[in-house]
Structure 1
Amino acid sequence: MPADRGAGAAGRIRVEVAGRALELSNLDKVLYPAAGFTKGEVIDYYTRVSGVLLPHLADRALTRIRYPNGVDRQYFFEKNAPASTPDWVRTARLPTPGSSRGRDEIDFVVADDLPTLVWLANLAALELHTPQWRVGADPDLLVVDLDPGAPAGIAECCVVAVAIRDRFADDGIACWPKTSGRKGMQLCAPVSATQSAEVISGYVKQVAEELESSSPAKVTSRMAKRLRPGRVFIDWSQNNAAKTTVAPYSLRAGPVPAASTPLTWPEVEAAAAGDLLGAVRQFTAAEVLDRIDEYGDLLADLLTPGPPVPS
């Protein structure tokens, strides 16, 4: 938590974060009831991960999922900047084709700095989701979402992740793994920002269909729910221009404050080989902080442009 504090109205404190004045409220409110994890702890977590998180949020239009009364109560998606947005928070007005509210454009929040991140955490914006493109540019990230259908789980996702990594490598594309913070995982690859979302999505769909053809009992590339039990769904559609993916290090709503956690390939390979001692799993906020101390940002390579995908 930022150290500079002042007295405020009941339940509120004034703080200064990197030169910006903020008012924080209800820090003792429990947002994860099963774990007793409070809003103050959420703000503390986002402050402590900001050094590795902010580069992955920079220049990206942010979709937030807010849980003002905790993860077991009503929540809402928020794309537009709320009316109370401070004037120092960066926003970007962007088109929103197909908006369910009939808006042609929305003023998105862009979280480029620590004060903005703390402000969002104070709004109980627990989940932070970003598109695969930066404002005003074509996609610079390729994302594959691996969604296991029970009884398949994250170990089965690791098997598929290794297969996708090796297939991408045939085309000169390097990818990095992370947990989703829920039940599955994602692979992320830097790409050139010179191709459309349709081209990238088409490439990932082709790879998914190839893997389904070679391992139909383990993999499906089709969205139908009836096809998923016991298989890992390779969701290539995450590369659609309108889709967002949970940001690395973002918290997720659930019984415990788990976060989307970067993994090492040796961890994934071990899990794919059946080694449960390393236990690739969904990591809690405290575990993520320990992993950052040990590894730094395992996804730092995503911040450098990669090659174009075959088209």
Structure 2
Amino acid sequence: MPASSDRQVVEVDGHRLSLSHLDRVLFPATGHTKAQLLRYYAGIAPVMLPHVTGRPASFVRAPEGPAGESWVAKNPPPGAPGWVPVVPVEHREGTTEQVVIDSTAALVAMANLGAYEVHVPQWKAAAGRDGHDRLVLDLDPGPGADLVLCCRVAQRLRQLLDADGLTAHAVVSGSKGLHLYAPIHPASGRATAHYAKDLAGRMMGEHPGLVVVSMTRAERPGKVLIDWSQNASAKTTAAPYTVRLRESPGVAAPVGWDEVAAAGEPGDLAFTPEEVLDRVAAHGDLLAPLAADAPRGALP
């Protein structure tokens, strides 16, 4: 991957990529350049790909970084190489062709086109919308709450999931909150969302002063929103290991339950791209059990 020159041609997985604007500073707060983000994606691909391959991807595109114009893109970015695979996906507004990130080359090619933030659904294109193979809960702190409070909520949700025969895995969102994933036997989006909503309701029933399940802003101060709706077939979640387009380049990074329990302040679970690469080098993919060949629980 490039080190400094503003434009380079590289070969990745047998594909030639012309990388441009490599010296562009995308995150002025930290000085991170486009070249550094491309280097991160090339390095993280071996552990990121199992969590995105086969899933139709959408992107937050921001060619000039989070301070510039940004938008959500479902269609392949203009200039996407013809060898990057796409699949048709039906939406309310019609059918779109969406990228499937199946290789390091595809991941780097998308980032090179300013598609820095990757989002995927909880189902694969081959299985369709009735084949959700993982459950996700997005814990989002309201005003006056923080990531540490999300960690406390996550610990109890882990117990509830375990009692239902499901194994939870934690991923910091790279923004303010925490994602919980659980591998499941294939189920419809309707069934998965119904279970997730019921679980969130049970948690709110236990701790009404701590948790909320409504998006209503007036109800959220000091509480953690358990967003169960991302299990709907039409919804997506920031993919594990994606960079997040915030003031600083956070990462949706898997964390161990010992780290969740020990977190005393939000900064304890905030990682730069370089730190995530170091964590993977030291510990491997903490989210590996979520991969397709892992044991899966059945929804109650």
Q: Would the TM-score normalized by the shorter structure come out above 0.5?
A: yes
- CA shift for structure 1 position 82: 3.3
1:75-132 Cα offsets, whole Å, 9 max, x none, are 1111112342222111111211x23xxxx21110000001111111111211100000
Identify the match of residue 32 of structure 1 among 22, 27, 43: 27
Establish whether residue 123 from structure 1 lines up as the match of residue 113 from structure 2.
Answer: yes
SS at match of 1:140: strand
- CA shift for structure 1 position 39: 0.5
- CA shift for structure 1 position 280: 3.5
Aligned to 1:164: 157
CA contact (8 A) 1:161 1:187 kept: yes
Establish whether residue 288 from structure 1 lines up as the match of residue 276 from structure 2.
Answer: yes
CA contact (8 A) 2:174 2:253 kept: yes
CA distance in 2, matches of 1:279, 1:124: 27
Q: How many residues align?
A: 295
- CA shift for structure 1 position 257: 1.2
CA distance in 1, matches of 2:83, 2:260: 41
CA contact (8 A) 1:61 1:135 kept: yes
CA distance in 1, matches of 2:218, 2:26: 34
Identify the match of residue 289 of structure 2 among 289, 301, 305: 301
Aligned to 1:190: 183
Identify the match of residue 180 of structure 1 among 142, 164, 173: 173
Q: Tell me which amino acid in the other structure corresponds to 1:209.
A: G
1:15–1:75 CA distance, 2 compared to 1 (3 A): same
CA distance in 1, matches of 2:270, 2:189: 29
- What are the equivalent positions in structure 2 for 1:196-235 lying under 5 Å apart? 196-235=188-227
CA contact (8 A) 1:178 1:262 kept: yes
- CA shift for structure 1 position 236: 0.6
CA distance in 1, matches of 2:100, 2:153: 33
Identify the match of residue 93 of structure 1 among 68, 74, 88: 88
CA distance in 2, matches of 1:240, 1:83: 28
The structure where strand makes up a greater share of residues is: 2
CA contact (8 A) 2:29 2:248 kept: yes
SS at match of 2:255: coil
CA distance in 1, matches of 2:246, 2:140: 17
CA distance in 1, matches of 2:50, 2:96: 23
Q: Tell me which amino acid in the other structure corresponds to 2:16.
A: A
Which runs of 5 or more residues in structure 1 are unaligned?
4-9
Aligned to 1:6: none
Q: Tell me which amino acid in the other structure corresponds to 1:173.
A: L
CA distance in 1, matches of 2:72, 2:289: 29
The structure having more radius of gyration, on CA atoms, is 1
- CA shift for structure 1 position 64: 0.7
Amino-acid identity (%): 41
